[in-house]
Every structure is written in structure tokens, then in C-alpha cells.
Amino acid sequence: MASILRHLTSILWAGILAAFFFGGCASVSESTDMAAANAKGTQAEQDAGYTLLRDVLVDERKVRQIFALKDASDPTRKLIEEISGLAETSLHQLDGLAKQKPTVRLNTPSLPPIEAKTRIAVYSKTTEELLEKEGQEFEMALLLTQVEALGYMSNLTVVLAQGEGNPHRIKFLNQLSQKSFKLREKVVKRIGTL
């Protein structure tokens, strides 16, 4: 996941540096063409990033469903409910904000096939491991998955906000980053009490 963020960041910086170094050497018509090409590339990157964010929100919204099969202490259960609630609310907000101009495509294939298959395998293995664990060991494993997911969400939203031009989406992304970071801190504190 960190490599995806590094990749997106390096692509954004490459575009900025290319525009800086080569922008002054092009004619007005070439500059307009280059700007249009860069905007399309940036929009495609943003679409891919928003697709990743939407996928994380969908997964996080469903995490509370594990309590249909497993039990956890009230503090852990409440924390997972809070995370799922944030994801559900944010998912609805994202779906609405994606329709604003410029529109965002939330179903852009954003990962190479091998990465997508690997993520499915990791998701399946993690679910299997969670279902095998009991009591405090289960709670610890579940909370560790949330530390990862919330950290990824917080950082992904920061990177998306840096490439965003719509002020409403920027505000949403910044708020989601802060909320997911604060929730991550609460999860880490909860892990410390187990």
C-alpha cells in the first residue's frame, strides 16, 4: 500500500516538474495541449485514487459484520462500530461529491491484475485468520487490521487532496484524513489496554 502512495506521489511530482521545466519552452498551442494532456493524466490518477478510497470505505463499512460470527469486548465493539459508521457516512458523501464537476469515476481499474489478485488473497487469508482466533487474540488481530486500514485511508486522502481542484472534495478529504487518523490513534490506545 505504501508503494502505491509513493507511486502516485512520484507521478504527481513528475508532472509538476515536467510542467515547470518544459512549460516555458513550448508555444502557447503546445502549452495548451500539454496542459490538457497533464490534466487528463492527473484526472486518471485521481480517478484511480478515488477508486482505491471507495474500495477501502466499502471494506471498512463491512468490518462490523464480523460480530455476527465472533464476539469482542464492548470497548472493541464500539470502536469497530465507530469505524464502520465513519466509512458508511464517508462512502455516501464520496458518491455524492464524485458527481460534482469535474466528475470523478469511482470504478476505474487502479491496480495491475497481479496486485488486485494479491489483495484478494490477503483479504481472504486475513478473514480466515480472524475467524480462527478467539477472545483477546481475536480482538488484537482485528484491531491491528484497523490500524493498517485507517493509516492507509488517512494517507490516501492526503495524497488525493493534493491533486484535487474541487474545494468541496478537498474539504471532505481533509476531514476524512483527520477523522481516520484520530480513529487510528484510538485503536492503538485500545490495543495498549489488551
Q: How confident is the model at residue 111 (pLDDT cuts 50, 70, 90)?
A: confident
> Is residue 141 scored above 60 in pLDDT?
yes
Report which listed range, 107-116, 123-132, 147-156, is most confident: 147-156
Q: Among positive and negative, which fits the CA dihedral 40, 58, 133, 192?
A: positive
Q: Is residue 79 part of a domain?
A: yes
Q: Is residue 2 part of a domain?
A: no
The total number of residues shown for the chain amounts to 194
pLDDT at residue 166, rounded to an integer: 94
**Tally of domains in the chain:** 1
pLDDT at residue 142, rounded to an integer: 97
> Is residue 6 scored above 50 in pLDDT?
no
pLDDT at residue 170, rounded to an integer: 96
Range(s) of the domain holding residue 163: 49-193
Q: Is residue 17 part of a domain?
A: no
Mean pLDDT of the chain: 82
The CATH number linked to 91 is 1.20.1260.10
Q: Is residue 33 part of a domain?
A: no
Q: How confident is the model at residue 12 (pLDDT cuts 50, 70, 90)?
A: very low
pTM of the model: 0.76
Select the more confidently predicted residue: 28 or 87. Answer: 87
Q: Is residue 20 part of a domain?
A: no
Q: Is residue 111 part of a domain?
A: yes
What average pLDDT does the segment 167-176 reach? 97
Q: Is residue 149 part of a domain?
A: yes
Q: Is residue 9 part of a domain?
A: no
